[in-house]
Amino acid sequence: DTGVSQNPRHKITKRGQNVTFRCDPISEHNRLYWYRQTLGQGPEFLTYFQNEAQLEKSRLLSDRFSAERPKGSFSTLEIQRTEQGDSAMYLCASSFSAPLSGNTIYFGEGSWLTVV
């Protein structure tokens, strides 16, 4: 399978602990995105990378959140000192940067986080 891969798929953690999610994008894609989705809502943009450069961060991404894409391939999203409000599904997506093509973005299956 050559789609976007995320792990772990599910994570239950105690409040105050740190968690890290990993995303492996489609191999030819140079753009990588992180979104957050809560139940019954559409995904909300968190941040995105072009190659290894982090080009935009949402106001939703507080100081406790950090994302990296060190070699322009896989990415990690770390949440420090988790809070119950962080409980959500964290989605990774990837695409080509192709200005004239409609820039189709493909999503992974998501990583569910439950903070207890």
Residue 91 near other proteins by CB under 8 A: yes
Mark the segment that binds other proteins (CB under 8 A) among 11-19, 69-77, 78-86, 90-98: 90-98
CB of 7 to other proteins, least distance (A): 13
Evaluate whether 92 touches 73 at the Cβ level (below 8 Å).
Answer: no
Among the listed residues 16, 17, 44, 83, the single contact to other proteins using CB under 8 A = 44
Which two structure tokens, joined as six digits, stand for 29? 């894609």
Determine if residue 9 is left, alpha or beta; phi over 0 gives left, psi from -120 to 50 gives alpha, anything else beta: alpha
Q: In whole angstroms, give the CA distance from residue 102 to residue 110.
A: 23
* DSSP-derived 3-state class of residue 40: coil
- If the CB atoms of residues 42 and 85 are measured against other proteins, the closer one turns out to be 42
Binding site for other proteins (CB under 8 A): 4, 6, 31, 33, 35, 40-45, 48, 55-56, 89, 91, 93, 95, 97, 99, 101-110, 112
